[in-house]
A and B are shown apart, each in its own frame.
Chain A
């Protein structure tokens, strides 16, 4: 059985490289499961960036000042760019971009559950930047150190840009929370609605996370869902206090023995409902993506026609 021995040997060498902190590059041998896990994660991450433009895009035309508007426009444009960095990283694993996009449009591929919540007021834009981008930064800072070279590099690029997203959001919340009573209430209301869904962004608890063990062993992830969630809570609590915002969790308390902020139970049934397609905006988001794809088809066709015309004309 020379092939089997060879496969075992290859896996052993692969895992030794991972253990030594080496990066895996596209042409290197890798177990099929490693490739499949990465394709799943990176394409979901890419789809999340693209769908993530929709809730915030909703407020671009209604931003309260020009300063807020240019900031939000630049942020939403960054999300498009981040989606493209990630599709490009996924393509190095042998999947094509059109296939990934079609999987999303057909409802076969997932994206982060967080983008299925509505943006009801301007304060939501502030809280999304602060919580949602804040949580994404925690996750992506880890992924920038992951074992797969192209995914690591894409996340590094994303992290360099994403701090501005969090700051513009926190600035909005900070401004509202030092404003009129109505503005303060608006900020607090947005925080109340986004806090728990933001904590769910890190995924199910370690005990019921089906992919975690494998992802950690191959250093696709370096920390567990619960560790990342705890880190996010620890850094966010003082940020909330600094802008006189109350986080909607009566069980939130500082535990001196562990040095961490303890928080209440997360309602995972809500998370699984949203994942299944029953969140407040799932249908609206998917419709917006499908419309964008079909309405943009003529642009892709025209670009091809133009390129072919110039090739055949030799210019």
Chain B
């Protein structure tokens, strides 16, 4: 993701591109494009990230509109999830004789 990039240069605003490769699949970050507006950003994203007919949907988002965690957050921010083994199925015991549970 693009936190330290400068924007609004002669190449237009920076947009992050998310593509969906088949219906039902999640949209995934593919890269970025420069464009003056959303319509052109979509067209540029198509030309750059969808030249092979394996894309069914594209989202473009101005890079400046994305809020993201920072690496220094990594521990305090995600820590609460680290000690919760009881959120995983392996935490719970079932009799060995039960098949195909």
Residues of A near any B CB (own CB < 8 A): 25-29, 74, 77-78, 81, 84-85, 88-89, 91-94, 96-99, 101, 153-154, 157, 161, 300, 303-304, 306-307, 310-311
Instruction: Tell me if B11 and A97 are in contact (CB < 8 A).
Output: yes
Q: Is the CB of B34 within 8 A of A85?
A: no
Contact of A93 among B4, B48, B68, B70 (CB under 8 A): B4
Tally chain B residues at the interface, Cβ within 8 Å.
29
B30, B31, B36, B52: the one within 8 Å of A304 (CB):
B36
Q: CB distance A29 to B37 under 8 Å?
A: no
Contacts of A153 in B (CB 8 A): 31
**B71 is an interface residue with CB less than 8 A from chain A:** yes
**Please, which residues of chain A bring their CB within 8 A of the CB of B6?**
94, 96
Is B3 in the interface zone, CB < 8 Å from A? yes
Question: Could you tell me the distance between the alpha carbons of A303 and B6 in the complex, rounded to whole angstroms?
Answer: 19
Q: Mark B27-46, 1 if CB is under 8 A from A, else 0.
A: 00011111111001000000
Are B10 and A26 within 8 A (Cβ)? no
Min Cβ gap B2→A in Å is 6
Q: Does B14 contact A (CB under 8 A)?
A: yes
Q: Is the CB of A307 within 8 A of B11?
A: no
Nearest residue in A to B69 (C-beta to C-beta)?
Answer: A27
A308 to B6 CA separation, bound complex (whole angstroms): 19
Q: How far is the CA of A94 from the CA of B14 in the complex (A)?
A: 13
A94-B33 Cα distance, complex, nearest whole Å? 15
Residue of A nearest to B38 (CB): A307
* Distance to closest chain A CB from B65 (angstroms): 15
Is B71 a contact of A28 with CB atoms below 8 Å? yes
Which of A77, A96, A154, A300 has a CB less than 8 Å from the CB of B5?
A96
> Given A306-B37, A307-B36: A300 and B71 within 8 A (CB)?
no
Q: Per-residue CB proximity of B52-77 to A under 8 Å, as 1/0?
A: 10000000000000001011000000
Interface status of B9 (Cβ within 8 A of chain A): yes
Query: 26 A-B Cβ contacts within 8 A?
Result: A26-B1, A26-B4, A27-B71, A29-B71, A81-B47, A81-B49, A81-B51, A85-B31, A88-B31, A89-B31, A92-B1, A94-B4, A94-B6, A96-B7, A96-B9, A97-B9, A98-B10, A154-B31, A157-B30, A157-B31, A161-B51, A161-B52, A300-B11, A307-B36, A307-B40, A311-B37
**A26, A84, A89, A303: which contacts B48 (Cβ < 8 A)?**
A84
Say yes or no: B68 contacts A27, CB within 8 Å: yes
| Interface residue from B2, B12, B48 paired with A92 (Cβ < 8 Å) | B2
CB < 8 Å neighbour of B12 from A27, A74, A161, A300: A300
Given contacts A74-B51, A96-B7, 13 further A-B contacts (CB under 8 A): A25-B1, A26-B3, A27-B71, A89-B31, A91-B5, A92-B1, A92-B2, A92-B4, A97-B34, A101-B11, A300-B10, A300-B12, A303-B36
Residues of A within 8 A of B12 (CB): 300, 303-304, 307
Of residues A78, A88, A304, which shows the largest number of chain B Cβ atoms within 10 Å of its Cβ? A88
Which chain A positions have C-beta within 8 A of B9? 96-99
**Contact for A94 among B5, B30, B36, CB less than 8 A:** B5
Known: A81-B48, A85-B48. A306 touches B36 (CB 8 A): yes
- What chain A residues lie within 8 Å of B35 (beta carbons)? 303
3 smallest CB-CB distances across A and B, nearest first, come from A307-B36, A307-B37, A303-B36
Contacts of A304 in B (CB 8 A): 12, 36
Q: A27-B68, A27-B71, A304-B12 are in contact. Are A84 and B33 (CB under 8 A)?
A: yes
Chain A residues within 8 Å of B3, by CB: 26-27
Name the CB-closest residue of B to A90: B5
Q: How far is the CA of A97 from the CA of B31 in the complex (A)?
A: 14
Determine the residue in chain A with the shortest Cβ distance to B16. A88
Contacts of A97 on B, CB cut-off 8 Å? 9, 11, 34
